[in-house]
Structure 1
Amino acid sequence: MNHHANLSPEDTDRVIEMAWEDRTPFDAIYRQFELPEKDVIKLMRRELKESSFQMWRKRVQNRSTKHQKRNQSKGSVRFKSTRQKSISNNQIT
């Protein structure tokens, strides 16, 4: 299914921004926009210049922080400050 065709221009921009961020896992993009990793890749291929897309793919392909399952399998628990505000749907709650 082609979920990224239904995104607004603002949501498309946000998905691209989240995909570029090293610490934002694909699972977070899925939870917020219901885009599986393969659809994020298709969106990035469509929206970026070819050279930018290739650079992005090379960066994220084996990056464990983009894949929560790989990151969690290491058994480490990530620190989160008790003073850190939770973020839901791009809004501080």
Structure 2
Amino acid sequence: MKLPELDSQIIDRILEMAWEDRTPFEAIKTQYGLQEKQVIAIMRREMKASSFRMWRKRVSGRKTKHLTQRDFIEGRFKSQNQKT
């Protein structure tokens, strides 16, 4: 798979977005034009092997990483314990 040439600041932002549980892969695609497979390849290349495995285990099957599987369309999660 061919990955586009990206500067270090963009790679850092992609890593940050991919690491966040509530940022869907579709948001990364919209912003940077990268498919989920490309994001995974960047994560594999840029992270330590153990960190990548931990991330993949956590992200696999997570509803919040895919817009079509989310229970909500937009907004932020708000805990019942959180004050207004």
One-letter amino acid of the structure 1 residue matched with residue 5 of structure 2: N
One-letter amino acid of the structure 2 residue matched with residue 19 of structure 1: A
1:7-86 pair list within 5 angstroms? 7-71=6-70, 74=71, 76-79=72-75
Report the Cα offset of residue 78 of structure 1. Answer: 3.9
Report the Cα offset of residue 41 of structure 1. Answer: 0.3
**How many residues are aligned here?**
76
Q: Secondary structure at the match of 1:11?
A: helix
Distance 1:79 1:59 in 2: 22
Contact 2:63 2:69 in 1 (8 A): yes
Q: How much is the aligned-residue C-alpha RMSD, in angstroms?
A: 1.6
Contact 2:44 2:52 in 1 (8 A): yes
Q: Which 4+ runs in 1 deviate beyond 3 A?
A: 76-80
Q: Deviations over 1:36-84 (max 9, x none)?
A: 000000000000000000000001011000011111xx5x45447xxxx
Please give the TM-score of this superposition, normalised by the length of structure 1: 0.74
Please give the TM-score of this superposition, normalised by the length of structure 2: 0.82
Distance 2:33 2:75 in 1: 26
Query: Which structure carries more strand by proportion?
Result: 1
Identity over aligned pairs, percent: 53
1:77/1:6 CA distance change after superposition, 3 Å: closer
Structure 2 unaligned segments of length 5 or more: list them: 77-84
Structure 1 unaligned segments of length 5 or more: list them: 81-93
1:79/1:24 CA distance change after superposition, 3 Å: closer
